[in-house]
Structure 1
């Protein structure tokens, strides 16, 4: 019997009973803290044969504390928090769950676009305060929507937008133009997209800065910016200034720099509340996405413990 350490909060919290699935395969589930504090994890890592890891860091020090570990199954898509090179060096397989939450995040991105264009959260707050005055919004179908990063999620956004009827443009350095056309968008260079779109939605990988003061200055006045990807894609101070200057009409995001420690973010300033929407990592939080991520990560962990190749290996 193998011990599978789980540090994702939502594992087996959907419709699938993944704990029973692990038990049927002859393995037990051991729960650990989602923040991956090494002092707390060390006694748990000592017994772990597999690790289904959430968003916390997986460092070489974590791996060194786990002498029996054979696989780190990342519960989600991004692996930037995992020291993959150290895992490979130690003979530990790394996997992730590509596409598991793509539909959920695409839904959320479109929801944030609509909420920002029609000032829905602000309208709700004003009604509760007794203010029924009307603030005019804009229709999604009349906009040019720019999608930055045209992988599974970006293409899912384009598919959903087709029912609204906007012009859709996309920038992705890894996709041939014919594939962008085939998925329902016009290919544009990144700077051209930022200078053309009325609504821009970010679906690029982290580790890069896509929105800074210079790029914001080249946007159309009144642009709506949506970020359901990574906080480091944007310079939050520059975005706050662009909102104050009227370059941006609204910013809607599912993440902030520092997240739960981001109470000092300039984007949470009271004077910007009417034009900033922030949700607490809700993008992937649907029952279906939770089931997909849990099933894929568990199946890969079980496969490695069984001596088989996992379906979703990560090598770098």
Structure 2
């Protein structure tokens, strides 16, 4: 009988799905940390994992582990080579949070353009009411949006931005090589050219080995442009972004992700009132949390039933080779 370890708090619908499943048992550790679930990993045949790390030492201690199901689509905190070496499958939930993340990106674009924090402060501090006459708030209608990463999230965002009358291009060399999707959004062949063209830039790519938006890329942006990152910490060079905000090269920003989460109290990004911040929450709406919980549990059940969707197995090709 497979034994499942749930590491991190799930939406109740996911727990109910486990409780009603036949032929499985489970442990449930609500705290989101590797230390909290590691004592239970030795007897787990499957691991449902929230955002906490899964390191090589923990994989080594998981002597019965056969499948890890990520409660999400990112897996940069998972030691994938260790899983591959042991022949352990890693699954993700697929297209369950892309609308939520796209909505969050759209919200941040609007909030940054309208200088929402400064407007809020002007109401709460009566002496600042005159801020309204500085005309700092901007319209996004007619502005140019560059979407860096044109996967599911990027395409949902483009659909929303069309409704606001924005002109849209996307940079995604991988997708362009595979075949650009139909629609009115044109591909941008060169990132620097795209950054020079755009009034607003939204980052929607997986984490890479190094930042894709660095000092050179920020210097290419229009003076006063808006930058939004709902992808992963480390995709944007935070130090370079701080300097670009200080100089006005970047006029405003929206950040849902950071190099360190939570960011340190002395992180200068916390000091700008033209920067909208959120705690890596773009994919954590009430509705999306329920979908991810159900999908991550269902992936485990499907795996043991031999019915897992191969498109949801991140390392399927590697497992077949080994």
Which residue, 70, 74, 77 being the options, matches 1:74?
70
For 1:45 and 1:167, locate their aligned partners in 2 and report how far apart those are by CA, in whole Å. Answer: 50
1:268 counterpart residue number: 270
How has the CA–CA distance of structure 1 residues 181 and 41 changed in structure 2, closer, same or farther, with 3 Å as cutoff?
A: closer
Tell me whether 1:113 sits opposite 2:112 in the alignment. Answer: no
> How far has the Cα of 1:310 moved from its partner?
4.4
For 2:37 and 2:262, locate their aligned partners in 1 and report how far apart those are by CA, in whole Å. Answer: 21
> How far has the Cα of 1:125 moved from its partner?
2.1
TM-score normalised per structure 2: 0.90
For 2:246 and 2:226, locate their aligned partners in 1 and report how far apart those are by CA, in whole Å. Answer: 13
TM-score normalised per structure 1: 0.91
**SS of 2:279 mapped into structure 1:** coil
2:7 counterpart residue number: 7
1:152 counterpart residue number: 152
Q: Deviations over 1:65-94 (max 9, x none)?
A: 122222100111112221222212212211
**SS of 2:223 mapped into structure 1:** coil
Which residue, 12, 27, 36 being the options, matches 1:30?
27
Decide whether the 8 Å contact of 1:52 with 1:74 is kept in 2: yes
2:125 counterpart residue number: 129
**Unpaired runs of 5+ in structure 1?**
none
For 1:29 and 1:278, locate their aligned partners in 2 and report how far apart those are by CA, in whole Å. Answer: 36
**SS of 2:129 mapped into structure 1:** coil
2:249 counterpart residue number: 247
For 2:3 and 2:122, locate their aligned partners in 1 and report how far apart those are by CA, in whole Å. Answer: 52
> How far has the Cα of 1:210 moved from its partner?
1.4
Which residue, 204, 213, 223 being the options, matches 1:221?
223
How has the CA–CA distance of structure 1 residues 96 and 178 changed in structure 2, closer, same or farther, with 3 Å as cutoff?
A: closer
Q: Deviations over 1:202-224 (max 9, x none)?
A: 00111231111111111110100
For 1:102 and 1:190, locate their aligned partners in 2 and report how far apart those are by CA, in whole Å. Answer: 23
> How far has the Cα of 1:261 moved from its partner?
4.0
Aligned residue pairs: how many? 307
Which residue, 233, 236, 239 being the options, matches 2:238?
236
Q: Deviations over 1:225-279 (max 9, x none)?
A: 000011101111111111111111101110122121422212112xx2x211111
Decide whether the 8 Å contact of 1:3 with 1:47 is kept in 2: yes
Between structures 1 and 2, the one with greater helix share: 2
> How far has the Cα of 1:3 moved from its partner?
2.7
Aligned-residue Cα RMSD (Å) equals 1.9
**SS of 1:280 mapped into structure 2:** coil
